[in-house]
Amino acid sequence: MKKPNGTQFHLFLSLSLVAFSLLLALVFQTCDRWIAAAAMLFSSFGDLSLMNLHGWFTKHRLHSFVCGGILFMISHLLYAAAFSALLRRNDVLPSVIGIATAILVGIAACLALLCMGAKKQSLTLTKASLLLLYAALLLFDMTAVFAVSFSLAGRGSVWRLFSAAGILFFAVSDFFIGMDKVADSPSLTRFIWIFYPIGQFLLLLAA
């Protein structure tokens, strides 16, 4: 983030989403809402890491991108746990269609990144390994969200599909970050903070 004003606005958006998640948890008082709030909190820490405000990570000899990636991986695991708790609370079975859709979308996105990185010869073994690890956790999260949202939508709660849209928007923002780091496409980074906050908002709304 090169522009200070842009960084401050992104920080405001991130903290606003944390406040929104905590408000929902306090209002509804359910396990899944509290886990989703924790997921948003780790996401916000990930945002701070990627922003590297005032060069804090550089000063402490920490790799901001790697730290941010780890924090977002924890966030994805927590979101998956939140939607698993939501599934148990509603006593429904996961949607097979939702699971299949998530897997197909996730694999297609990962293959696209790998192919683009290989084509530009910018994909090292280390980058490929980190990409696959992150993609696996994102796919796990997406599968959980799709399985639950499709299942609950089939029972009449169509608004739960907002969460499926949310995780897709979240995944698109991750895809753009991957395009920048793996396929050397920095022009796409301007779209990250369009898809990311909308995705988080929809995820939290329908969690």
Lowest average pLDDT, out of 24-28, 133-137, 146-150, goes to 133-137
Q: How confident is the model at residue 198 (pLDDT cuts 50, 70, 90)?
A: very high
Q: Rounded to the nearest 10 degrees, how much is the dihedral formed by the CA atoms of 123, 121, 187, 52?
A: 40
Average pLDDT (149-157) is 90
Lowest average pLDDT, out of 103-107, 160-164, 176-180, 196-200, goes to 176-180
Average pLDDT (6-33) is 93
Most confident of 36-45, 121-130, 135-144: 36-45
Q: How far apart are CA 4 and CA 175, in angstroms?
A: 24
Q: pTM above 0.85?
A: yes
Q: Is the pLDDT score of 106 beyond 50?
A: yes
**pLDDT attached to residue 62:** 64
% of the chain at pLDDT higher than 90: 52
The encoded tokens of residue 197 equal: 């906050």
Q: What angle do CA 136, 137, 139 make, to 5 degrees?
A: 65
Domain definitions of the chain by residue range: 4-205
% of the chain at pLDDT higher than 70: 84
Count other Cβ atoms within 10 Å, centred on residue 26: 11
Q: Is the pLDDT score of 3 beyond 50?
A: no
Average pLDDT, the chain: 85
**pLDDT attached to residue 1:** 37
Average pLDDT (155-163) is 90
